[in-house]
Amino acid sequence: MIKVDNVTKKFRIPHEKRNTVFESLINIFKPVNYEIFNAINDISFEVVAGECIGVIGKNGSGKSTLLKLLAGIIRPNSGNIEINGDIVPFLELGLGFSGELTGRDNIYLNGMLLGLTKKEIDKKFQEIVDFSELGNFIDTKLKKYSSGMHLRLAFSIAIHAKGDVYLVDEVIAVGDNEFKEKCFDVFMNFKKQGKTIIFVSHSLDTIEEICEKTILLERGKIRYFGKSKPVIGKYLQS
């Protein structure tokens, strides 16, 4: 389902900030010094259809960068990524939302961005509202929502998008404990349906419960990739 072949992603980190037009003008002939940072450094792995793969590692190890590469949000500097099937990214939930529109309008806006047709959204609309638990606020402008309400609505829309591969970045941390349990149940159901899931989390207990295999990233490289329990043990030792 997923094949990652010798993928590298580099970022240029400037050592000098130029925040104003004036600073840019007076330094127009002075080049900015950059440091090259290898966020993902020559990694390769394969995922079989229906597998649920965890990704763990310290902050800055390249976990979110890997998901953005798989989602096609950013492109690698070298190497190749092949994914067979439709992708649903649970990364930056609510991207494309408009604060001036109501929750109802944003369901249609965001749903269409995720590949749903208006007819499909009409059919799923009440399910989305019920899951989000925002029925009393669905016709309120989004700018009046709390951040938690915003994320709950975005998550509720995303789980109704059609996909074969789900890319998940700490999304089960949305909302209170009861809502987190609902989120967890959703992904367990995806797993039962044979969906392919790449799951990034700092919750090692959740990774061990959901994922058969786990990737341990360290400074942009794959330190270990195998059955979840031994890989998590190696991470805790390190």
pLDDT score of 41 more than 80: yes
The pLDDT assigned to 187 comes to: 86
**Residue range 66-80: mean pLDDT, rounded:** 94
Q: How confident is the model at residue 175 (pLDDT cuts 50, 70, 90)?
A: low
The pLDDT assigned to 93 comes to: 74
Cβ contact 38:220 at 8 Å: yes
CATH number (3.40.50.720, 3.40.462.10, 3.90.950.10, 3.40.50.300) of 2-237 reads 3.40.50.300
Q: How confident is the model at residue 223 (pLDDT cuts 50, 70, 90)?
A: very high
**Residue-range domain boundaries for the chain:** 2-237
Q: Which residues contact 126 (CB under 8 A, 6 or more apart)?
A: none
Q: pTM, whole model, 2 decimals?
A: 0.82
Q: DSSP string of 18-66?
A: --SHHHHHHTTTSPPPEEEEEEEEEEEEEE-TT-EEEEE-STTSSHHHH
The pLDDT assigned to 24 comes to: 62
d(CA 215, CA 221): 10
pLDDT in tens, 115-174: 899 999 999 999 999 999 999 999 999 999 988 888 889 989 989 988 899 998 876 655
pLDDT score of 105 more than 80: yes
pLDDT in tens, 186-216: 888 999 999 999 999 888 998 998 899 999 9
d(CA 152, CA 175): 7
pLDDT score of 79 more than 90: yes
The pLDDT assigned to 17 comes to: 66
